[in-house]
Amino acid sequence: MEAADERARLEEQTRRNLRGMELERAGDLEGAIALYEQNVAEGFEADWPYGRLVSIYERLGRPEEAIRVLEQGIAAFRASSRRTPQDRRAVIAIFRNRIRELQRKQRAAKREMSRQQRAARRGRQPDSRSSSGG
């Protein structure tokens, strides 16, 4: 009975992934997110929903969500008994590299925002050194 339950669960997760792809193509990103997130919450042991969510969250400007999904993927693959150790290590390495890339992008975006804010403040407030009479 346990094997049949597992098979039914995997079939349902696969249906969600396929439906999520359809919703993405139709432009319903929130609908796709809901389906992929359900598979991620259940610890789906293939990389499809994780990769799709990361891609969608990046497009939507939500890097924190993308990182969260990758971290959940790492946990799911570590716990996986269906994948070979080599496969698990490879996927985990890819997810970790992706997290580092997203974090680098976040830091760069924060630096750029700070730079723009400083420039805007300088543009609104005269520099005290150049405005002194002479």
In a domain, 128, yes or no: no
Specify if 18 maps to a domain. Answer: yes
User: What is the pLDDT averaged over residues 118-131?
Assistant: 69
Domain count, the chain: 1
The residue-averaged pLDDT of 4-11 equals 92
**Each residue of 116-130: b (16+ CB within 10 Å) or e?**
eeeeeeeeeeeeeee
| pLDDT tens by residue, 35-61 | 999 999 999 989 999 999 999 999 999
Mean pLDDT of 74-94: 93
Domain that holds residue 58: 2-123
Residue 34 has pLDDT above 50, yes or no: yes
Q: Is residue 133 part of a domain?
A: no
Q: How confident is the model at residue 126 (pLDDT cuts 50, 70, 90)?
A: low
| Amino acid 1: pLDDT | 58
CATH of the domain at 109: 1.25.40.10
Task: Tell me if 25 is assigned to some domain.
Answer: yes
The per-residue pLDDT for 134 is 47
Q: Which residues contact 70 (CB under 8 A, 6 or more apart)?
A: 50, 54, 95, 96, 98, 99, 102
- Express as a percent the part of the chain with pLDDT over 70: 92
